[in-house]
Structure 1
Amino acid sequence: MHKFLLLGLALPFAALAAEPAAQEAVAPLASDGVGGQVVQLLLGLLLVIGLIFLLAWLVRRVQQIVPRGGQVIKVVATQALGPRDRLVLVQVGGEQVLLGLTPGTITSLHVLKEPVHLPDAEPVSTEFAQRLMELLGKDQKDKP
């Protein structure tokens, strides 16, 4: 019984004594491991980026297959009220409905008696394009 007790006490000390030698043997491999990890990281990153491009291509292909002309519900106009709240004018068949959108709810605010007609030549919202041109230092009024 004493032999097992001594053996049980000696094993942890033997493992501790062998640990520096094991660390010295692993040290040269650690420098190779870092390079290998970088290569593995870059390959993983390229794989994820390739997957994103593949999924974007698939989404475009699926959207081309689904006919868009037969939509019954159309967004006529939208207006942001805050960072997460907005008003949306939706046309359903011959009726137009004004909706209030918040992060948790969609509320019908009003059903218009007379539909609002927007000119077809003008896009629904040009706020982003105008703001981008201002930030780039180009004013759309300068265009011929």
Structure 2
Amino acid sequence: MLRLGFQLLGGVRTLQPSFSVKIEQIRTTYILKRRFPPGLDKKNRPPKPLKTKHFVYDEVDNTNLKAEPNLKLILTSFVEGIGLKNDVVSVRPNFGRTKLLSPGLAIYASPENLEKLKTELEKSSENVQSMLHSSRFAELVIFR
């Protein structure tokens, strides 16, 4: 049962829950199969109640144990140890989401994005990919 309490917020008494509710989503999927499938019901009759043996299941597949496939990403800027701008790379899912997609260093390699990349590379007059990347401050260094 939900207990409610009164709180004074900005001079107004409001009715709010007296505890904080934390709901966290957990994605788990198990594919099961009945060991003893129940029989069919007869026409125009109410269904028979299931027996205990009908609630015995065998696990067919556990999706939590499967390895996720690598993500194909297009880099939007130079990433050390990964590649240059506009490179299509394949990385592990956790690394790709946390280190590349979240900060905006990469985008998904969807067919639409690959088509955009292709047209963008055709439009560019000078090929930046051929230059080796040493540092983003390399142009500022003056050699004597």
Shorter chain as denominator, the TM-score bin is under 0.3
**Structure number having the greater strand percentage:** 2
TM-score w.r.t. structure 2 length?
Answer: 0.21
Higher relative contact order (CA 8 A, sep 6+): 2
Larger Rg: 1
TM-score w.r.t. structure 1 length?
Answer: 0.21
**Structure number having the greater helix percentage:** 1
